[in-house]
Structure formats: C-alpha cells, structure tokens
C-alpha cells in the first residue's frame, strides 16, 4: 500500500523514478506497455542486443514516436547501467550468466536491481542479495512473476501469525513432459511448428515451461527467498484444484506433502491428461494453519474455507500478470528501499538431469533443450552429489556418459574454471551453507 502515493510525490517534485531495462523481449515489452500510464515512472534507457528490435517492441506496445525518440536505446548494457540518470536496473534477458554479470555491475554502480532473470537468481542469487545489501542497494525478485507473488502470500500468512504448510504455483504437468525437446514440444501444446512460428514462439523457451525446468527454477527461488524447502525428491506435481489445496497439502497425506513448510507445484491436469476441476494453472497459493483453537473458531465464524479438520485453509490468486505488474518491484525498490522477495539463504537448487542416455563428447544445450531438464532438490543434496546447476548446462561438453534420469555432475562435464558465472556460483556455494 501507498506506493502510488509515494510515486505521486516524486512526480510532483519533478523527480521521476528512472529505469534502465536490459532485454526488450516479452516480459520487458509487458513492462514497457505500462509506462505511459504510470506518471512519475520513466524509462531512461533500454539495452538490447538488437536496438531495432527494441524500438519495434516499443511501437508494438503503443509507445509514441516521440517517447521512443526520447529514450536511449542501445546495445551496450554496461554503459546503460553506468548512466547517472538510471536509478533502477531491470534485468530481463533470461540468460543466467549475463544476468549475473549485469546484476553485479549494477550493484557496483550503486543501482537497485530487479531480477526478472530468475535463472540467474537461482544460480547465485543469495550472493547477489548479500552484495547488494553491503552496497546499500536493493536486489529484488520481479513482482508479477510467480516467485515474488508466492513470497508475498507467504509473508502475509506469517505476518498474521499463521504457520505456513505449503506454497507454490500451478502448471500443466504429465510425467512424459520431462523428456520433451524443442522438436517435440509443440505437439504437447496442441500446435503445429508452423502455427508456433507465426506466433514468434521460441521452442526451447516454451519447452522449459513444459519439461518441468521452469517450475523447478521458480520454486528454488521461492525456497531461497522464503525459508520454505523442497521435498527430498523434488516436485511431485500433484493434480489438485483450488478447492482441494487445504485438504491435500498438509503433512501426513500420502502422495502430496512431504513436510510442513514445503514448496510444491500443483498440476492442472490429471496424469491421464484429463482436466483438474478448479485448476490453478496460471496462479499461486499458500496453505496455512490456525495456530490455536480460538483462531480456528474464527475461521468458522467468518466463513473461511478449510480442510475437514477446520484448522487448515488456503489463499490463492488465480492468475499473474507477469510484466504488467513489474512496476510494483521497481517502485518498492526506489521508494521504499525494499525488495518484493529476495534470497536469504541457499535452500533449493535446480540440477541438470538427463532426458535420455547421454554420451561422452555430447554438448549440453541448456534449459529447455534436448539433453537435460532441471530438477528441483534440496541444496544440501545438490552439493553432496556435485550437481551441475541448470544455469551452467549450456554449451559445455560431457566427458563421460550419463544415464537417463540421472543428475549431471561437475565431474561429468568440462567447464571453464575462469568463467565469471562459474566463479560466482562457486563463491555463492562457499558463502552460504546449504539447508
């Protein structure tokens, strides 16, 4: 509350919040569409590998030619970050190594950083948040994306004094999706390759959403920011509708929740592909518990929907608006000096897992590719196994065979130890005891 009032004050004083955006893709475009109707918020500069593509994105979301001409649109992210009129940097590239580099440069320049790039956050976010705090700037997850919205629900429950049993999001899931590749993905979406091409849809990106990788990444971000933890076997994707959340997601129910305080993703379809009633495919949720008998009676008196015990309830949001809501993070960072979710520890990790039998000499092709998918696991288990994080599984060669379903480890690949992203990840592991 009060963000808009604070923004109006900045606008009245002639000091708009000025943003530098890195990456004018879908998320960035959705943010750009809201700028003309948010007085007091301005985009000082946009950095994109293709400035012409960025200008086209601005036109596509309805920017006037005058606004486009008044905005610096460049291909030099480092120069944009250093510009003195940029107060908040939004990293929206989706490329983990680039995201780490941009975030660290922003922190060094004394700029707040909103990390749309959840892949980078899961790779080394705890270290970035620590560095930002030491520099006196904000490092934040991106509001509108599901991790920040989940963290908000968890914060609400805890602030009210309700113990949190589970939190997460919805998605469409079937076990066979884990083997999906960019060549097979459109069949699972019910599209032809030609239809996808007309829509400008990237098969590898969409495959990451389908094969379970993106769900693992987002729940690792939630775990690291909220203190909730993954189950030992990772995500179970139980097929659960909104009317079943409180009953199903509590400890002791076979096949659903492993422990209290767990991150979990619920499926919008049954294992046979039939739809789940009242599904939460696009939404987020938190399951919480009355801490005492009096609170439980209040649940009944005020019509709170609960499980059969009357003690457990769930609050959910049925959709998220992605980049259309990003202003909340930007304004919170600039006006309140608070993140909309930020990692506080290393609790969840996403480990590259073989989609098929892989052979020595093959080159891994990263998130959403044909070789590996990202499996969520407790960070302590990832460290014990030496799991290769999904954010570093792109363009690295295998030095030995890996069986289908097995995690790929550091020892299974040849990686450049001088690479900045690798060094940042290793520094994060050293700085944060897992668990």
Say whether pLDDT at 433 is over 90.
no
Say whether pLDDT at 255 is over 70.
no
Give the pLDDT band (50/70/90) at residue 98.
Answer: very high
Mean predicted confidence (pLDDT) in 403-422: 97
Say whether pLDDT at 167 is over 80.
yes
What does the pLDDT look like over 51-88, one tens digit per residue? 999 999 999 999 999 999 999 999 999 999 999 999 99
Mean predicted confidence (pLDDT) in 96-102: 97
pTM above 0.75, yes or no: yes
Predicted confidence at residue 197, as pLDDT, reads 83
Say whether pLDDT at 200 is over 90.
no
Say whether pLDDT at 1 is over 90.
no
Say whether pLDDT at 418 is over 70.
yes
Say whether pLDDT at 335 is over 70.
yes
CA distances from residue 420 to 96, 109, 368 in whole angstroms, order as listed: 11, 18, 23
Mean predicted confidence (pLDDT) in 260-265: 97
Say whether pLDDT at 253 is over 90.
no
Mean pLDDT of the chain: 96
Going by their DSSP bridges, the two strands 372-378 and 348-354 should be labelled as antiparallel
Predicted confidence at residue 254, as pLDDT, reads 63
How far, in Å, CA of 183 to CA of 29, rounded?
A: 27
Q: What is the percentage of the chain residues whose pLDDT exceeds 70?
A: 99
Predicted confidence at residue 435, as pLDDT, reads 60
Mean predicted confidence (pLDDT) in 193-216: 90
Predicted confidence at residue 383, as pLDDT, reads 96
Predicted confidence at residue 195, as pLDDT, reads 87
Phi-psi region at 138: left, alpha or beta (left = phi > 0; alpha = psi -120 to 50): beta
Least confident of 8-22, 163-177, 192-206, 358-372: 192-206
Mean predicted confidence (pLDDT) in 284-298: 98
What does the pLDDT look like over 110-131, one tens digit per residue? 999 999 999 999 999 999 999 9
Structural domains in the chain plus CATH codes = 3-144+324-336 (3.40.50.720), 147-173+212-320 (no CATH), 348-431 (3.90.1210.10)
Going by their DSSP bridges, the two strands 363-365 and 164-171 should be labelled as unpaired
What does the pLDDT look like over 212-234, one tens digit per residue? 999 999 999 999 999 999 999 99
With a CB cutoff of 8 Å and minimum separation 6, the contacts of 403 are 354, 357, 358
């Amino acid at each position: 509350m009060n963000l808009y009032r604070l923004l109006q004050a900045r606008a009245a004083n002639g000091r708009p919040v000025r943003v530098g955006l890195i990456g004018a893709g879908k998320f960035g475009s959705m943010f750009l569409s809201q700028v003309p109707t948010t007085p007091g918020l301005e985009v000082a500069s946009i950095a994109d590998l293709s400035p012409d593509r960025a200008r086209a994105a601005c036109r596509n979301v309805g920017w006037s030619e005058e606004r486009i001409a008044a905005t610096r649109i460049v291909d030099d992210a480092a120069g944009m970050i250093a510009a003195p009129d940029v107060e908040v940097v939004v990293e929206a590239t989706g490329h983990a190594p680039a995201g780490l580099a941009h975030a660290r440069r922003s922190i060094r320049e004394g700029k707040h950083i909103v990390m749309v790039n959840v892949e980078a956050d899961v790779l080394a976010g705890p270290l970035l948040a620590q560095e930002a705090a030491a520099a006196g700037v904000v490092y934040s997850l991106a509001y509108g994306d599901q991790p920040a919205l989940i963290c908000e629900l968890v914060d609400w429950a805890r602030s009210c004094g309700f113990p949190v049993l589970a939190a997460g999001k919805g998605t469409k899931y079937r076990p066979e999706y884990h083997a999906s590749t960019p060549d097979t993905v459109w069949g699972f979406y019910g599209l032809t390759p030609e239809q996808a091409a007309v829509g400008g849809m990237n098969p590898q990106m969409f495959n990451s959403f389908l094969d379970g990788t993106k769900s693992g990444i987002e729940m690792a971000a939630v775990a690291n920011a909220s203190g909730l933890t993954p189950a030992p076997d990772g995500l179970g994707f139980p097929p659960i509708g909104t009317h079943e959340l409180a009953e199903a997601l509590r400890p002791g129910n076979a096949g659903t929740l492993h422990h209290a305080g767990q991150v979990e993703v619920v499926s919008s379809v049954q294992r046979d592909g039939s739809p789940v009633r009242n599904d939460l495919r696009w939404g987020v949720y938190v399951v919480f518990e009355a801490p005492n008998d009096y609170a439980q009676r209040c649940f009944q008196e005020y019509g709170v929907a609960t499980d059969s015990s009357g003690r457990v309830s769930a609050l959910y949001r049925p959709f998220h608006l992605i980049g259309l809501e990003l202003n909340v993070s930007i304004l919170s960072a600039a006006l309140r000096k608070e993140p909309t979710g930020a990692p506080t520890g290393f609790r969840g990790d996403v480990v590259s897992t073989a989609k098929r039998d892989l052979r020595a000499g093959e080159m891994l092709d990263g998130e959403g590719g044909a070789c590996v998918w990202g499996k969520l696991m407790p960070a302590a288990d990832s460290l014990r196994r030496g799991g290769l994080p999904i954010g570093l599984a792109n363009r690295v060669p295998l030095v030995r065979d890996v069986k289908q379903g097995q995690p790929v480890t550091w020892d299974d690949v040849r990686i450049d130890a001088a690479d900045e992203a690798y060094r940042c990840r290793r520094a994060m592991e050293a700085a944060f005891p897992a668990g």
